[in-house]
Structure formats: structure tokens, C-alpha cells
């Protein structure tokens, strides 16, 4: 512990000692200088020989590179406003091919990488109107230029560098100068654009010192705006999908700064960033799906940056988490899984991590019954601020796993290319609206898009884990008081309790989207999937009943096939309401258990 504290102090001291006014003062003169140095290659080769999982990653990368030999190169295809798919394809291919060329020396990898780079260099531009595309392509060219430098001819270096500067760096400098767009953004655009262009500047710093220095000064000044979003405890407000995008680009840039300059200017010491990996571990459920609030899919996928975070913050659980992802049958490793790989790993139970967690910075809580049981119960609950990027109108929503199944699900994002998806039509689309989320719908209206719903209480005990959310700000003018409580009781039953007080009667509709088959018997419902059952019961009020409603919106929206919404219907509007629903999972060999709920108001939770 003392050693770790001293190491952190040393890093902080070195970061602040060197002024960003002279960011290239300690530039490593030789190539490669980005992320993976030549001196690290012998250890990496030994790792491949000695660690079975690392060897498996390497073999999969070799297989992928083999398939690339006859694949078409990237093409200038703008879909909607985006060239992004092509930029990402180029980046992924260059990392794989360049790494294998450095490890094995085979010329075929070099030739295929150059073929990819020539195709992208010939594009008329890298679509700076959607600057993520430009930043990611600049990143790709930086890695190609730096990692392959020793094998490139002077002519190849010249055209790669020219494309990187003209189509990348030159497009970014006016945006920083004007202090607009992503340069002052607090979310993922900041990290991706600062990171991608910053890595490009490090690659060509000796040939373009003035531009490179300007880029680095701007990037180091701008990035803390986004890093501030991890405060105080590592949560990411844009949800799990954009956690990955934002965090990986932060790590790309910090890793490149570290190897190229010997310092990251203390950016990695930003408050909460050391806890970012905690957030990822907690938002992944035992069903293999994330709590995918905001515009996110629910597939866990890989996150090579977890290995880098494990090393930087001496947290073996982060490495364990990514190792688990790489061992999944559908895993598709990337080059940096090998570059940043960490053999030392420890599961969260062995590390003493609690089963429950509250991330106050983003207003999200998680409960689970076990770290190791694949059939464990997992609950994620969403509060927070709807004004952040990629928000949907989902305050109070929850997801639920049990028996390896996702019972209460979030439908995630729809097609970004639908008209005004991020504009004036956003709140008309079903997946964005309150009605598509597992919360209470008041008068069939959306929550206020400017609302902030605070978590007012959190409890984590062996027999009871619960959270209370103040949802009244989401329904201004409609309710005087509205609290939702979500509890995991005895690590075996979930209870959702809503309490409303309104000046005028309101229609209240409880809802939960599911892919399970549903059988209703009045105040009871049985959900079935994967050989497991989920028994739903209305504990209160007595006059409420279950129904199933459609989740299919009109075109061009996703029809959400295979899903439906279980709702609780009240016979009339209400001014005062206490609505309690229990959700009890059980396997094929165990029957339903009796309710064991504490019948008390939320104020006494």
C-alpha cells in the first residue's frame, strides 16, 4: 500500500513538474514511441509462449490477419452523417497488422497495412463534419506510421504523414482555437477527438513540432473537462456503451503520452478515474448483458483498456474481468488485449468486493446475490440527470437478471440515422420515451428531459439491499411527491415500491419490458424463459391487475421483435398511491417461494 502511494505521488509530481507549455521537451526521439515500445517486444513474445490465454489471443489475431489478406479495403462510404464505420475498420486492421508485423516480421502484414492506409489516404477527406470519423482515422494513421516506421520507405512515410497532418491535425486546430464543439464537450466526443488527434501529433512530432506542440497543449487542457465526468466514483453518465468508447480513448491517449513523453501530465490521477473499472465490473450482469441505459446495446463485449487500468491502478479485478471476456466463446480480441495483457488477476469475491454498489456521480445502483453463480440475481437501477449525452427518458428504470436470463430489459438505442434522432424528434421515438422503460408512466407522458432525479437512500446488508429515488422532478406539475424504491430481499426476491402524492388525479401505469413468455392471472403473472420462471405479484393496491401491452412502434423505428411489456393497470386515476410489485425467480426444480416483504413506507427503508 505504501509503495502504491509513493508511486502515485511520484507520478503526480512528474506530471505537474513539466509544463504543457513545452509538451515535446521529453519526446522520445525514435520510433516506435506510441503505446508499445520495441524494448517491450521480447517480454510480449515470452508472454505468448507462457500464458495460454495470451497465446489464444495471439492465434486469433493471426487468423484475423489471414482473413484480411483478401478482404476489400476501407471505402469512402458516408452513412447518414458518418464515415465512422470505415475509420474504425481501418484502425482495427492497422493495429492488428502492425502488431503482428512487429512480432513476427512477416512482410505480408506490412503490405496489407500499407494497402489499407493507401486506400484511406486517397479519401477526399476524413469527414470532419462528424469529427469522430476524422479523429479515429488520424489514430489509425498514427499507429501505422509509428509502429511500421522502421519498415517504411521514405516515400511511404511522406504520404502517410501528409495525410495524417492535412486530413487530421489541420482540421482539428481551428476547432480548439475557436473553443467550440468537442473541444469544450464533457463527454465521449472530447476523449475521442482529443485522443485521436493527440496520438497523431505524437506520431509526427519531430517533423511537425509546432503543430504537434499546439495539439498537445490544447488536448491536455481540454481533456480534463471530460475526465471530470468520472467524479467522484468512476461512473459514466452516458451509460455502459459510451463508457467503453470514452474510457478506451482516454486510455489510448494516456498510454501514448506515457511512452512518447514519459508523463501523462497527471491526467490519469483525475478524481474518480481510478474507479472507472469498478463501474464496468458492476454494470455487467451474470446473464452476459450490461445495464444498458442511454444509447447502448446490452452485449458486454471486450474492453482491452481494463488491462491498462489494472496495471495503472494495481487492481487485479480489472484484469480478471477482461480475461473473462476473452474466454467467452464469442470473444473477438483486439491487438491491445495482447499489448496490455495482465496475467495477474483476481475475481471480485476473492478481492472482497461488496455485492452491491452505488455510483453517486451518475445516480446508478447495482445489487446481486452472488459474484460467482451464473444464475445469480442482478438488479441495476437508474436515477441521475437526463441532460447528459445520449440520455433516454428512463429515470427510475431497472433491469433484472436471474437464472442466466434477462427478465426486465432495456431496449437500448434505435437507428441513429432516423430523422432528427439527436434533434427535435428524439423524444417522439419509442425507445427514447418513458413508456419504453421499466418505470412508472404518468398520464401517458414523457418525463421532463431536463430532470434530475437524486438517489435519497442506499442500503447494503446481507438480507436487504435497497435504493430510493426521488422521481418527483421528472414529472413537474403532475406530482407533489414521487419516490421509487427497489429492493433485493434476502438475495432472492426483488420488490419495486412506488409512492405518489398528486394535487390532481393522475393515471399511473407501472411497466416492465421483457422477452419472456407471460401468463397472467389477475394480480399474478408468471414469466418463462430458458427453463426458469419469474413470478410477478401485485402486493398493493388490491384493485390493480396485470396486463400485457405491445412494444411495437410505427416505422421506421425498430419493431422490437420478441418483446412485450408487462404493465400494472389501475381502475381509475389516483391522487395517492402506494404500488408494490414483487418479482421472484426460481429454477426448473424449485417452486415459487412465499413473499417475505417488509410492509412499510419508503421513508422507513
Residues 80-94 pLDDT 10s: 999 999 999 999 999
pLDDT for 206 beyond 60 = yes
Dump pLDDT digits (tens) for 137-149.
999 999 999 999 9
Write down the pLDDT at residue 7.
43
What DSSP string describes 315-353?
-HHHHHHHHHHHTSTT----HHHHHS-------TTTTT-
State yes or no: cis peptide before 232, omega within 30 of 0.
yes
Answer whether residue 10 shows pLDDT above 50: no
Provide the 10 A C-beta neighbour count for residue 534.
26
Mean pLDDT of the chain: 95
Integer Cα distance of 483 and 564 in angstroms: 25
- What are phi and psi for residue 470, nearest 5 degrees? -85, 105
pLDDT, residue 187, reads 97
- Predicted local distance difference test score (pLDDT) of residue 591: 66
Q: Which of 60, 95, 94 is nearest to 74 (CA)?
A: 94
Q: What is the pLDDT of residue 2?
A: 38
Which residues partner with 540 through β-bridges? 580
Res. 468: pLDDT tops 60: yes
Please tell me the predicted confidence (pLDDT) of residue 20: 81
Interatomic CA distance for residues 297 and 299, integer angstroms: 6
Q: Which domains does the chain have, with CATH numbers?
A: 23-339 (1.50.10.100), 363-604 (2.70.98.70)
pLDDT for the residue 8? 42
Question: For the segment 379-415, what is each residue's pLDDT rounded down to a tens digit?
Answer: 999 999 999 999 999 999 999 999 999 999 999 999 9
CB 605 within 8 A of CB 466: yes
Sign of CA dihedral 94, 100, 104, 108: negative
435: number of Cβ within 10 Å: 21
Cα separation, 546 vs 399, whole angstroms: 19
Q: Are 405 and 532 in contact, with CB atoms under 8 Å apart? A: yes
Please say if the pLDDT value at position 4 is more than 50: no
DSSP 52: H
HSE value, Cβ hemisphere, 13 Å, CA-based, for 436: 24
Phi/psi for 492 (5° steps) reads -140, -20
Q: What is the CA angle 435-437-439, rounded to 5? A: 90
Percent of the chain with pLDDT over 90: 93
Q: What are phi and psi of 52, to 5 degrees?
A: -60, -40
Sort residue 314 into left (φ over 0), alpha (ψ -120 to 50) or beta.
left
CB 272 within 8 A of CB 231: yes
Angle of helix 131-147 relative to helix 188-203, nearest 10 degrees, comes to: 30
pLDDT tens across 481-533, in order?
999 999 999 999 999 999 999 999 999 999 999 999 999 998 999 999 999 99
At 14, is the pLDDT very low, low, confident or very high (cuts 50, 70, 90)? Answer: very low
- The grid coordinates of residue 486 equal 427497489
390 φ, ψ to 5°? 65, 15
Strand partners, 565: 513, 549
Cβ burial, residue 332 (10 Å; 0-12/13-18/19+):
middle
Using CA atoms of 394, 398, 404, 407 in order, give the dihedral in degrees to the nearest 10: -80
Give the three-class secondary structure for 381. Answer: strand
Cβ pair 489, 581 in contact under 8 A: no
Q: Which of 452, 510, 441 has the alpha carbon at shortest distance from 478?
A: 441
Q: Which residue has the higher pLDDT, 11 or 427?
A: 427
Of 19 and 283, the one with more pLDDT: 283
> How far is the C-alpha of 175 from the C-alpha of 3, rounded, in Å?
42
Question: Among 372, 379, 374, 371, which Cα is nearest to 401's?
Answer: 379
Find out whether 426 and 415 touch, Cβ atoms under 8 Å. Answer: no
Helices 84-104 and 52-68: crossing angle, nearest 10°? Answer: 120
Give the list of residues 6+ apart from residue 167 with CB closer than 8 angstroms, or none.
121, 123, 125, 126, 134, 137, 138
Give residue-wise pLDDT tens across range 549-603.
999 999 999 999 999 999 999 999 999 999 999 999 998 777 666 767 777 899 9
Distance CA 126, CA 141 (A): 12
The DSSP 8-state label assigned to residue 594 in this structure reads P
Beta carbons of 292 and 241 less than 8 angstroms apart: yes
Predicted confidence (pLDDT) at residue 11 exceeds the cutoff of 60: no
Largest CA-CA distance found in the chain, in angstroms, rounded: 80
For 434, how many CA atoms within 13 A lie in the half-sphere containing its CB?
21
The answer to whether residue 540 scores a pLDDT higher than 70 is yes
Q: What is the pLDDT of residue 17?
A: 34
- The pLDDT value given to residue 330: 84
Could you tell me if 528 and 517 are in contact, meaning their C-beta atoms sit under 8 angstroms apart?
A: yes
Which position has the grid cell 421506421?
A: 556
Mean pLDDT of 62-79: 97
- pLDDT of residue 36 exceeding 80: yes
Instruction: Give me 465's grid cell.
Output: 439491499
Residue 544 has pLDDT above 50, yes or no: yes
Amino acid at each position: 500500500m505504501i509503495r502504491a502511494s509513493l508511486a502515485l505521488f511520484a507520478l503526480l509530481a512528474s506530471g505537474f513538474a513539466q509544463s504543457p507549455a513545452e509538451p515535446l521537451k521529453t519526446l522520445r526521439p525514435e520510433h516506435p514511441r506510441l503505446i508499445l515500445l520495441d524494448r517491450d517486444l521480447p517480454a510480449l513474445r515470452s508472454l505468448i509462449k507462457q500464458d495460454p490465454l495470451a497465446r489464444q489471443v495471439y492465434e486469433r489475431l493471426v487468423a484475423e490477419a489471414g482473413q484480411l489478406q483478401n478482404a476489400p479495403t476501407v471505402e469512402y462510404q458516408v452513412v447518414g452523417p458518418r464515415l465512422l464505420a470505415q475509420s474504425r475498420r481501418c484502425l482495427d486492421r492497422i493495429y492488428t497488422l502492425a502488431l503482428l508485423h512487429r512480432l513476427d516480421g512477416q512482410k505480408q502484414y506490412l503490405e496489407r497495412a500499407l494497402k489499407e492506409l493507401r486506400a484511406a489516404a486517397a479519401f477526399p477527406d476524413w469527414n470532419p463534419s462528424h469529427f469522430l470519423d476524422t479523429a479515429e482515422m488520424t489514430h489509425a494513421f498514427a499507429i501505422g506510421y509509428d509502429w511500421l516506421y522502421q519498415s517504411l520507405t521514405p516515400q511511404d512515410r511522406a504520404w502517410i504523414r501528409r495525410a495524417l497532418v492535412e486530413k487530421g491535425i489541420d482540421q482539428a486546430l481551428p476547432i480548439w482555437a475557436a473553443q467550440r464543439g468537442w473541444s469544450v464537450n464533457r463527454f465521449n466526443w472530447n476523449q475521442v477527438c482529443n485522443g485521436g488527434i493527440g496520438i497523431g501529433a505524437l506520431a509526427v512530432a519531430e517533423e511537425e513540432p509546432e503543430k504537434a506542440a499546439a495539439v498537445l497543449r490544447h488536448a491536455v487542457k481540454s481533456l480534463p473537462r471530460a475526465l471530470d465526468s468520472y467524479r467522484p466514483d468512476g461512473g459514466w453518465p452516458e451509460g455502459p456503451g459510451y463508457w467503453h468508447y470514452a474510457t478506451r480513448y482516454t486510455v489510448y491517449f494516456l498510454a501514448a503520452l506515457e511512452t512518447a513523453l514519459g508523463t501523462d501530465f497527471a491526467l490519469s490521477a483525475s478524481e474518480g478515474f481510478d474507479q472507472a473499472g469498478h463501474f464496468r465490473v458492476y454494470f455487467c450482469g451474470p446473464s452476459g448483458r450490461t445495464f444498458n441505459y442511454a444509447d447502448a446495446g446490452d452485449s458486454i463485449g471486450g474492453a482491452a483498456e481494463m488491462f491498462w487500468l489494472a496495471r495503472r491502478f494495481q487492481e487485479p479485478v480489472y484484469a480478471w474481468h477482461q480475461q473473462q471476456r476473452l474466454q467467452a466463446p464469442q470473444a473477438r480480441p483486439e491487438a491491445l488485449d495482447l499489448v496490455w495483457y495482465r496475467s495477474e488477476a483476481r475475481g471480485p469475491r476473492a478481492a472482497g468486493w461488496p455485492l452491491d454498489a452505488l455510483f453517486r456521480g451518475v445516480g446508478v445502483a447495482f445489487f446481486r446475490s452472488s459474484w460467482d453463480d451464473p444464475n445469480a440475481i442482478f438488479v441495476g437501477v437508474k436515477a441521475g440527470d437526463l441532460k447528459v449525452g445520449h440520455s433516454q427518458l428512463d429515470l427510475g428504470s431497472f433491469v433484472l437478471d436471474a437464472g442466466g436470463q434477462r427478465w426486465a430489459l432495456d431496449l437500448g438505442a434505435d437507428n441513429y440515422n432516423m430523422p432528427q434522432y439527436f434533434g427535435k424528434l428524439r423524444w417522439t421515438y419509442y425507445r427514447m420515451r418513458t413508456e419504453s422503460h421499466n418505470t412508472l408512466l404518468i398520464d401517458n407522458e414523457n418525463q421532463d428531459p431536463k430532470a434530475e432525479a437524486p438517489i435519497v437512500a442506499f442500503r447494503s446488508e446481507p438480507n436487504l439491499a435497497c435504493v430510493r429515488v426521488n422521481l418527483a422532478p421528472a414529472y413537474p406539475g403532475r406530482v407533489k411527491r414521487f419516490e421509487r424504491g427497489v429492493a433485493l430481499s434476502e438475495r432472492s426476491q426483488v420488490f419495486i415500491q412506488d409512492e405518489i402524492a398528486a394535487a390532481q388525479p393522475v393515471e399511473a401505469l407501472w411497466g416492465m419490458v421483457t422477452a419472456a413468455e407471460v401468463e397472467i392471472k389477475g394480480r399474478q403473472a408468471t414469466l418463462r424463459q430458458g427453463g426458469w420462471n419469474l413470478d410477478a405479484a401485485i402486493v398493493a393496491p388490491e384493485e390493480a391487475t396485470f396486463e400485457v401491452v405491445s412494444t411495437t412502434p410505427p416505422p421506421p423505428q425498430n419493431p422490437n421483435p420478441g418483446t412485450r411489456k408487462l404493465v400494472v393497470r389501475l381502475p381509475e386515476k389516483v391522487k395517492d398511491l402506494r404500488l408494490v410489485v414483487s418479482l421472484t425467480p426460481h429454477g426448473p426444480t424449485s417452486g415459487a417461494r412465499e413473499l417475505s416483504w417488509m410492509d412499510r413506507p419508503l421513508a422507513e427503508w
